[in-house]
Amino acid sequence: MGRMVNCVLLGTEAEGLDYAPYPGDLGKRIYDNVSRQAWQQWLAHQTMLINEYRLTPIEPKARKFLEEEMEKFFFGEGSTRPEGFVETE
């Protein structure tokens, strides 16, 4: 069992990440406040955003959009799904 954090997304104490998954202040806030489980939820949500909006993560505009969505997902009102998105199994 690794270090524990009070996860902002799950609202409970859970195992934290091993390292900051993103550079800068946002990465530090995620490292200090987000659990492994919540990070996995973000990665799934981010993949959906990339696919639905047909983003190219190397483009600065796409990276900025994903960073803003990440901030909202963990520390804001939450990142929303694209209009008309239907989850399939």
What domains appear along the chain, each with residue ranges and CATH number? 4-75 (1.10.3880.10)
Please give the DSSP secondary-structure letter assigned to residue 44.
Answer: H
Residue of higher predicted confidence among 88 and 6: 6
Is the confidence at residue 88, as pLDDT, over 70? no
Is the confidence at residue 25, as pLDDT, over 80? yes
Q: What are phi and psi of 35, to 5 degrees?
A: -85, 165
* The model scores a pTM over 0.85: yes
Q: Which residue has the tokens 């091993």?
A: 18
Is the confidence at residue 60, as pLDDT, over 90? yes
